[in-house]
């Protein structure tokens, strides 16, 4: 019996040590731009001091932000990362270019970022999105040059109106400082995602930029449903 209890204690301790340690808080922002309240989940690494400078990542599709941030927290990064999960109320309206993404982007820029970042000293501001949210990540990058220091787009779709070479030359011209862009698809991703990602990659390869630093990867073995985590971690390293 003593041996069994000791084994159980070792198992519990091991599980606890393997868990990502983080503090989680939820706030509500009464958005005047969107005319609705928006719930925001804030993830902080345990032991973070308010005087510490941090990388801050805005996680679109915030209802999935818990497991995504847990993966971040398990990694070893040189700088603490704070996660901001933006919970959806109407995903299609906010993410799709043919709907109302400009209002959602304005909410992020003028209401969300000022409210969240008054709590921190920011070293790097990052936007991450997957699928429709990946497409919105490109939209945000093109329409608000330099709002984020890095844009990470996993399996972005639809992007057919956001692949033209001229769009990215104009983006580079509008930038005053260096900006990073990382986009991916999975080798088992949806056909249209792989097709348009390849077109964008090929168009970018023909250009020379002053400030836009971009990278594309096809994640071997990943499907549309599994590409998000691989992309997220690679994009943060």
Per the confidence metrics, is the pTM higher than 0.75?
A: yes
Q: Is residue 15 part of a domain?
A: no
pLDDT at 21: 76
Alpha-carbon distance of 62 to 42, in angstroms, equals 10
Q: Is residue 75 part of a domain?
A: yes
- 41 forms beta bridges with 26, 85
Q: Is residue 11 part of a domain?
A: no
The answer for residues whose C-beta is within 8 angstroms of residue 71's C-beta and 6 or more apart is 229, 232, 233
Closest CA to 134 of 61, 192, 237, 190: 61
Q: For the chain, what is the mean pLDDT?
A: 92
Q: Is residue 4 part of a domain?
A: no
Q: Is residue 2 part of a domain?
A: no
Domain range holding 120?
21-236
CATH of the domain at 54: 3.40.50.1820
Alpha-carbon distance of 103 to 194, in angstroms, equals 28
Closest CA to 93 of 104, 107, 82: 104
Q: Is residue 59 part of a domain?
A: yes
Q: What burial class does residue 140 get, using C-beta atoms within 10 Å of its C-beta: 0-12 exposed, 13-18 middle, 19+ buried? A: buried
Q: Is residue 9 part of a domain?
A: no
* CA gyration radius, the chain: 19
Alpha-carbon distance of 194 to 225, in angstroms, equals 14
Place of tokens 């970042």: 117
Going along 67-174, which residue ranges are E strands? Answer: 81-86, 121-130, 150-154
Residue 10 phi/psi, 5° resolution?
Answer: -65, -40
The answer for residues whose C-beta is within 8 angstroms of residue 101's C-beta and 6 or more apart is 94, 95, 136, 139, 140
Q: How many domains does the chain have?
A: 1
- Per-residue pLDDT 10s for the chain (237 aa) are 444 333 333 333 333 344 557 899 999 999 999 999 999 999 999 889 878 999 999 999 999 999 999 999 999 898 999 999 999 999 999 999 999 999 999 999 999 999 999 999 999 999 999 999 999 999 999 999 999 999 999 999 999 999 999 999 999 999 999 999 999 999 999 999 999 999 999 999 999 999 999 999 999 999 999 999 999 999 999
pLDDT at 10: 33
């Amino acid at each position: 019996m003593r041996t069994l209890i000791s084994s159980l204690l070792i198992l519990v301790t091991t599980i606890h040590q393997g868990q990502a340690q983080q503090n989680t808080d939820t706030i509500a922002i009464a958005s005047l731009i969107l005319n609705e309240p928006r719930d925001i989940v804030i993830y902080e690494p345990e032991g973070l001091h308010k005087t510490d400078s941090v990388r801050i990542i805005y996680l679109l599709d915030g209802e999935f932000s818990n497991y995504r941030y847990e993966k971040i927290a398990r990694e070893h990064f040189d700088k603490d990362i704070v996660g901001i999960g933006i919970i959806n109320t109407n995903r299609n309206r906010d993410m799709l270019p043919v709907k109302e993404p400009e209002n959602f982007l304005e909410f992020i820029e003028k209401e969300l970022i000022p409210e969240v970042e008054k709590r921190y000293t920011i070293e790097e501001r990052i936007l991450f999105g997957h699928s429709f949210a990946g497409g919105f990540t490109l939209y945000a990058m093109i329409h608000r040059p330099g709002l984020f220091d890095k844009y990470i787009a996993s399996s972005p779709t639809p992007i057919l109106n956001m692949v033209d070479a001229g769009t990215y030359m104009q983006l580079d011209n509008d930038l005053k400082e260096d900006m990073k862009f990382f986009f991916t698809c999975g080798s088992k991703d949806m056909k249209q995602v792989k097709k348009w990602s390849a077109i964008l990659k090929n168009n970018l390869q023909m250009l020379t930029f002053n400030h836009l630093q971009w990278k594309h990867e096809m994640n071997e073995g990943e499907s549309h449903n599994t590409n998000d985590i691989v992309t997220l971690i690679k994009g943060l390293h």
